[in-house]
Amino acid sequence: MKGKRDGYISWDEYFMGVAKLSGMRSKDPHSQVGACIVSQDNKILSMGYNGFPMGCSDDEFPWAREGDELDTKYFYVTHSELNAILNYRGGSLEGAKLYVSLFPCNECAKAIIQAGIKTIVYECDKYADSPAVKASKRMLDAAGVRYYQYTHTGRKLELEV
């Protein structure tokens, strides 16, 4: 009898792939961020991406990064990690793992810590020098939340839909 097939994707490839697929739903023209929350026994619990809250139209609220603060996206957009936490309808996220395409900011770090998420796997840390990410790491370190960067395997996951 033949054994199992080779070439199947790893758990990390699977969950980061799902996080990035979720990010593809984002309407943010500059940064599309996706998140996937996973239980300790590798079950997907929730997903999210950055976007405006319900009722706040993607076509009416601003996507600008600069200009009058009230006319930029920053006051309005819900971050992918927070959306993933809020989208979860099942009870506790204690001990869960978060896969996310961008290192979480300080506001997301607060929600991650308070939700009981214990591990973060992130893809990109392009805002590492910003106060928001420095504050985030300070809180995550203090709270004992482990974080590490996803190691790219070089494999391209192609989907025809």
Ligand X SMILES: O=c1ccn([C@H]2C[C@H](O)[C@@H](COP(=O)(O)O)O2)c(=O)[nH]1
Instruction: Give me the catalytic one of 13, 81, 123, 160.
Output: 81
Residue 60 Cβ, how far from ligand X at the closest point, in Å?
16
Q: Which residues contact 86 (CB under 8 A, 6 or more apart)?
A: 48, 78
Q: What are phi and psi of 46, to 5 degrees?
A: -165, 165
> Which residues would be at the binding site for ligand X (CB under 6 A)?
28, 30-31, 33, 50, 65, 73, 77, 79-81, 102, 104-105, 108
Residue 31 Cβ, how far from Zn ion at the closest point, in Å?
11
3 state DSSP class of 102: strand
Interface with Zn ion: number of residues (CB under 5 A) = 4
Residue 124 annotated as lining a ligand binding site: no
| Residue 22 binds: one of Zn ion, ligand X, none (C-beta under 5 to 8 A by kind) | none
Residue 79 annotated as lining a ligand binding site: yes
CA atoms within 13 A on the CB side of 44: 17
Distance of CA 105 to the CA centre of its chain: 10
Contact status: 121 vs Zn ion (CB under 5 A): no
**Given candidates 108, 112, 115, 117, which one binds Zn ion under the rule CB under 5 A?**
108
Buried b (16+ CB within 10 A) or exposed e, 128-159: eeeeebeebbeebeeeebebeebeeeeeeeee
Residue 120 Cβ, how far from ligand X at the closest point, in Å?
11
Integer Cα distance of 70 and 28 in angstroms: 16
Residue 81 Cβ, how far from Zn ion at the closest point, in Å?
6
Binding residues for Zn(2+): 79, 105, 108
Q: Which residues are catalytic?
A: 81
Task: Give residues in contact with Zn ion (CB under 5 A).
Answer: 79, 105, 107-108
